[in-house]
Structure 1
C-alpha cells in the first residue's frame, strides 16, 4: 500500500511539474514601451472617423510611439533554455552585452545568471517583442527605455555609469506570438436584419436596434454603383443628402461575390441603393465588439427601471471598444470627460481594468505638454481624477507609479497657466467646455474649473504618496488646501447660499448654476448646513437653469443621491431616460430635451442628424443604481474594506451584483429583508430600521438612533430581517 501511495505521489508530482512548466510557457505576451501601443492604437481608431465619406480627424495634437526601444531582463536559469523570439521591427539581440549575429528567431541561453536584451526599431508600428521559453518569457516585468544615454571612451570601453531611466514594459496581454500588436482587431460575429422593405431601386434593412460593425453585401454583381446610407434612425438612412455616414462604391463584377465594407459604422437602418447594372441578393453585418464580461447586474420591482438599466448597459457596451469612446456614430474619439464617466460605469458593470488603463495612457500622450487633454481645461482634470478612482477600485498601485511622471508634467503645465489671482481662466488654446448648454457663460474665472483644479491637486497628493514622492505630496496638499479656502472666500455667496458661477474683473457675477454646486456636494467640500442650502437653493430650484445632457445629469443626480434623495432621483431617471425609451430609443442619446418634437430629437450641431443616439454618457444609471441604490462603494483600495448603504428609493425590492477584483458583492433588498454575500474584503452594511433588526451569524450595532451596522466577512451569506 505504501508503494502504491509512493507511486501515486510521484505521478502526481510529475503531473503538476508538467502543468507548471506548461503554465510558465504560456505566460508570455507582447510588450512595448508603456503607453506606446495605447497611443498608436488610439491614433488608428480615432482616425477611422468619416463624415459623409470624408476623413474627419481629431482636433488635438496626436503623439506617436518611440521608434527605437531597448528591452531587457535578467534571468537565473537552472539549465540552458531555448527561447523563441518574435519582433515587430528591425532588431538586434544581446546576451550579457554580446550581440548575436543576424536576426535570430531562436536562441539558447546558457544556465546561470544572464541578461537578455533586444533593441527594436520601427516607424510604421510600435517596436514590440514576444519572447517565449519555458521560464524566459516577455511580460510587464521587463525593463525598457527609449534612450540608453551610454557612451564609449577612447579605449572602446562602454560606460558603466549610464543615466538611463528604465521603466516596466507595457502590455495588453496579447498572448498570440503570431498575432503581433499591429494586427490587433476586435472580434466580430454575424448578425442579420430583422426587417427589409423595398425603397426605390433598392431596399432599407432594419437591424432591430442600434448596433455597430461592418456591412456585408451578399451576391453582389454588375457594373455601376452601390450606394449605402447608414442611419441611427430610419429618417437618417433615407436622407441620402444629409445622413452622417455612407459608403459609395464603384463596381465592375462579372460574377456574384460577397463584399465586406472596409470601415465599421454605427447604425440601426441601412439604405442600399444600386445604380446601373448592379444587383445584390441581401445584406448582413459583422457585429464588432469588445469581449468584456457582464459581471455587474441590477433588477428591481420597477419594470421600466429594469429596462433603463438594460439599455444603459447595452449603450455602454457599444461604446466600450479598444478604448472607452464617446459615441459609436460620432465622434468615435477618446474624449476625457466622456471616458471619466465610463470608468465609473465600468466599475459597476464589466470591471474591465485593461480598458481603463489603455484609455488613460492614450488620452495623456507624450511630453512635452502643449495643451490640455482634448484641448479642454475640465478634461485635463477628469484625467487626474480617473487615475485615483482606478486605484481605489482596483488597487493597482503599479499603474499609478508608471503613469505618475506624466501626471506631474501635466500638472506643471496647468500650474503655469494660473492668473495673478492664482486661479484658472481662459487662455489662448483653451476650450472651457463644462457642458452643452444654451447661454452658459465661460467668461472670467469660472468656479467649476477651480473646483476641479482643487480636486486634481488633492488627487496629485494621493498619487504622489503611492509613487513614493512624499516631498511633492506635501506641496500638492498645501496647494489644494489654499485653493479650497480661496474658492469659498471668493465664490460663496451668503445671500444666495450657493457658489456663484464665475468672477469677472475681480467681482462675483449674479449667476448661480448647478455645476460647481453639485460637484461641491459629492466632493464633500460643503459643511452639512451648506449642503442643505445648496440642495434647496440650487439642485431642487427650478429657477436655476436646467441640465439637458445626460453628461451633466450624471453628476446632478449623483449629488442628489449623495444627499439621500433617491426617491426624487428615481422619478427623474424614469422621466428622463424613460422619456427616451418612449420615443423608441434602443440606446441612450447624447442629449435629450423633452420639449423637442419629432425629428427635432435627431438634430444637433446645426445638422438634422448630427446628434449621437448612442452615447456613453447616456448610460449613467449603471453607476447610480450600483453605488447609490444597491449602495456599494470601496472605502479602501480594491474593496479590502467597503460600505453597503442600500436605499430602495421608492422601490418595493431590488437585487444586483457589484464586481470586484476577486468576485462579486451580491445584494438583495426588500422592505423587510437584506441579503448580502461578498467574495472579497471586509464590509460594513449600514441601514435604517424602525425596529431592532436581527441577522444570522453576526452582531448588529446601533450607531445612532434607528441606524444600524453589520460587519460583512467574505464568503458568508447574511440575512438581515428589519423594518424599513
Structure 2
C-alpha cells in the first residue's frame, strides 16, 4: 500500500492490485482504413444539427487534384474510426519556396465540418474539439500525426502555400486501433433487419471504446468511468468476451480508493493510474454490481475473493447515507449521477440503485459464505420496507423523490429494477409510467438502457423492443454509425455541456442494444 495526496483527497494505493491490472493490459489490434469518398457538407434543416454530407467524388481521385491557398475538401472514411492519421503530401508546380500551412478539422459528424470550432461556447474545454494546424517545411513529406482521433470526417484547409506551388495529397489513411477482436463475436441473423442493424452498430460502438481500458468515449473523455464500465461489460459478455479487460478495469478501480475506502467515479490511466476527484453514490455502488456481473460471467472465484472487500465496503459506505427512516438523505450537490435529465431529483432512483446492488452483494456473499451475508439481508429487508412506506405514493401510484415529491421516469425505472414491488405490480407501474409520461423524463441512452431492461424484467418485452426502435432506431435514421452519448428525439440539439459540437458520437453507455437483443432474445 502507498499513499497519494491530491487536492482535498488522500488516495490509498494498492500496489498489488495496480500491478495485477498492469499485467492485464491488452494488446491492440491494428488495421489500415482508407477514406471512401470526397464529400461536400450541405446545409439541410431536415437532418440532425442541420448539416449532411454529399458524395462528390471517390477518394481514389484525391491524388488527381492540386490544392493551393484557401482551397479545402472533406474526406469521408465511410464509418466511424478510432486511430492515427498519416498523410502523404507532394508539391506540384515550382519548387516550394515557403512552408505549407495546413489546418485539419477532425470530427464524428457533418456538423463538426460545418460549424467553426472558434464559435464553440460550451462549458467543457474546447481542447476536446479535434483540430490541428500543421506547418510542413520540406515537401514531399509523410505526416504521421501523433494524437489518436475519433472520427469519420476530416476537413483539409490549405491555409497557405505560396503563389509558386500547389500541393497534392497522394495518400491519406488511418491506423485504426481497438482491443476488441471482431472475429470473436458470434454473428447473428435477426429476422428483424432493424434489430440486426442495431446489434451491428452497438458492436462497433463497443469496439471503438475498447482500448487499453473500456473508455467512456474515444473522442471525450477517453477514460474509465464506473457507470459506463458496468454497461460495456454486460455488452462484452454477449459479444467479444474480452473478460480480462473487465478484470483489468475492476482492479484499476480497486487500486485507488480514498482514505475512507470509496472508489472514484472514474480513473485516468496515463501517465500512471490516477483517481479522479469525482465520487458518485450510484457509481461507487456499481463496483459491486460490476463484480457481480463479472463473477457470474466467468466463475472467477479468485478475483471475487480479492475484490469482495472493496465491493462490500462500497455498500457499507452507502448505508451511512440513510437517515433514521432508512431513506437516503437528499442534497442539492452532484452526489449521485442517475441521468443528465435537468431537474431530476436523485433520492428515489438512488434508493433503487442501493437496493439493486445490495441484492447482488448478498448473492456474492452467499457464493463466498461470508458473515456479511446475514447482516446485509437484515438491512435490505428494513430498507425495502422503508422504501414502500416513505417513497410510494398510494394516491398517485408512483414512487416519489425529494422534498417536492417529484415523480420521474428514473425513480420508477430503478424501483422496478430493484424489485421493490412484485412482477405484476412492476408491470402495472411501467404501463402507468408510459401512459402518464411524467415531465421529468430521460436524457441519455444510459437511462434508456435501464428503461428497456425495466420493461423486459416486468414482462413488457414487446414494449421494450418498441422503445428501442424509437430511440436507438431514431439515432440510426439520423445517421448514426456508432451510437451517441446523448439523443433526445424531441430536441436533437440537446447537450448538457452547452454545445452539440462537444457531444460524443461514439459513447460506451449507448452500446447496450446488443446486450439486450442477445441476452433477452429480443
Q: Could you say whether these structures have the same fold, taking a TM-score greater than 0.5 normalized by the shorter chain as the test?
A: yes
Query: Which residue in the other structure is 2:61 paired with?
Result: none
CA shift for structure 1 position 412: 4.1
Q: CA deviation at 1:372?
A: 5.8
Q: Deviations over 1:332-380 (max 9, x none)?
A: 2212112211111112111221111122222344243456632221111
Q: Which of the residues 220, 226, 237 maps onto 2:102?
A: 226
Query: 1: CA distance between counterparts of 2:144 and 2:468?
Result: 40
| Structure 1 residue 170 corresponds to structure 2 residue 20 | yes
8 Å Cα contact 1:266/1:329 also seen in 2: yes
Correspondent of 1:471 among 364, 371, 380: 371
Map of 1:212 onto structure 2: 82
C-alpha distance 253-64 of structure 1, shift in aligned 2 (>3 A): farther
Partner of 2:130: 246
State the distance in 2 between where 1:613 and 1:531 align. 33
Residue 436 (str. 1) matches residue 286 (str. 2): no
Would you tell me which structure has more helix in proportion to its own residues? 2
Q: Which of 591, 612, 617 does residue 504 from structure 2 map onto?
A: 612
Query: Matched residues in 1 for 2:264 and 2:420: separation?
Result: 25
Structure 1, 216-225 or 233-242: larger mean CA deviation: 216-225
Higher deviation after alignment, 408-417 or 561-570: 408-417
The 5 Å alignment of 1:40-51 reads: none
Match of 1:190 in 2: 32
Residues 1:338 and 2:228 are matched in the alignment? yes
CA distance in 2, matches of 1:193, 1:270: 9
Contact 2:352 2:417 in 1 (8 A): no
Are residue 393 (structure 1) and residue 297 (structure 2) matched? Answer: yes
Q: How many residues align?
A: 458
1:539 Cα deviation from its structure 2 partner: 4.0
8 Å contact kept, 1:228–1:273: yes
Q: How far apart are 1:580 and its partner, in Å?
A: 1.5
**DSSP 3-state at the match of 1:519:** helix
Please give the alpha-carbon distance, in whole angstroms, between the structure 1 residues aligned to 2:463 and 2:357: 30
SS, match of residue 626 in structure 1: helix
**Taking CA–CA contacts closer than 8 Å with sequence separation of 6 or more, which of the two structures ends up with the larger relative contact order?**
2
Give the C-alpha shift of residue 269 in structure 1. Answer: 0.6
Tell me by how many angstroms 1:420 deviates: 4.4
The 3 A distance-change label for structure 1 pair 531 and 247 is closer
Cα separation, 1, equivalents of 2:398 and 2:34 = 54
Name the SS for the 2:359 alignment partner. helix
C-alpha distance after superposition, 1:557-598 (max 9, x if no partner): 11111233222222222222222112221111122222236x
8 A Cα contact 2:427 2:455, kept in partner: no
The answer to whether the Cα contact below 8 Å between 1:212 and 1:328 also exists between their aligned partners in 2 is yes
Give 1:563's aligned residue. Answer: 458
TM-score (norm 1): 0.58
CA contact (8 A) 1:294 1:349 kept: yes
Give per-residue Cα distances to partners, 1:129-172, cap 9 Å, x unaligned: xxxxxxxxxxxxxxxx6xxxxxxxxxxxxxxxxxxxxx997266
1:459 Cα deviation (Å)?
A: 3.0
Q: 3-state SS of the aligned residue for 1:307? A: helix
Alignment of 1:572-591 (within 5 A): 572-591=467-486
**Could you tell me which of 298, 302, 311 is aligned with 2:188?**
298
Cα displacement (A) at 1:543: 4.2
- Relative to structure 1, the CA distance from residue 341 to residue 291 in structure 2 (aligned partners, 3 Å threshold; closer, same or farther) is closer
Aligned counterparts of 2:27 and 2:159: Cα–Cα separation in 1: 33
Other structure's SS at 2:189 match:
strand
How far off is 1:430 after superposition?
A: 4.8
Equivalent positions of 1:118-517 (< 5 A) are: 170=20, 186-197=28-39, 200-219=70-89, 223-240=99-116, 241=118, 242=120, 244-277=128-161, 279=167, 281=169, 282-292=171-181, 293-369=183-259, 373-374=264-265, 375-426=279-330, 430-442=334-346, 446-468=347-369, 470-502=370-402, 504=403, 509-517=404-412
CA distance in 1, matches of 2:39, 2:319: 59
Structure 1 residue 512, shift from structure 2 partner? 1.9
For residues 398-449 of structure 1, the C-alpha deviation after alignment (integer angstroms, 9 at most, x for no partner) is: 111111232244344334444444443356975322111132234xxx1111
What's the secondary structure of 2:467's corresponding residue?
Answer: helix
Cα-Cα RMSD: 3.2
2:366 and 2:19 mapped to 1: Cα distance? 22
Contact (CA 8 Å) 1:498, 1:533: kept in 2 or not?
A: no
Tell me if the contact between 2:484 and 2:504 (Cα under 8 Å) persists in the aligned partners: yes
Structure 1 SS opposite 2:86: strand
Offset at residue 388 of structure 1 (A): 0.8
- Cα shift at 1:542: 2.7
Provide the C-alpha distance between the structure 2 equivalents of 1:239 and 1:308, rounded to a whole number of angstroms: 29
Change over 3 Å in CA distance of 1:604–1:452 after alignment to 2: closer
- Quickly say closer, same or farther: Cα 1:556–1:171, change in 2 above 3 A: closer
Deviates more, 1:197-206 or 1:398-407: 197-206
Change (3 A) 1:220 1:608: farther
The answer for unaligned runs of 5 or more in structure 2 is 41-66, 92-97, 121-125, 266-278
> Against the structure 1 CA distance between its residues 326 and 239, is the aligned structure 2 distance closer, same or farther, given a 3 Å change threshold?
same
Of the three residues 515, 518, 522, the one matched with 1:626 is 518
1:698-724 CA deviation, whole Å, 9 max, x = no partner? xxxxxxxxxxxxxxxxxxxxxxxxxxx
Larger Rg: 1
Whole-Å separation in 2 of the counterparts to 1:171 and 1:372: 15
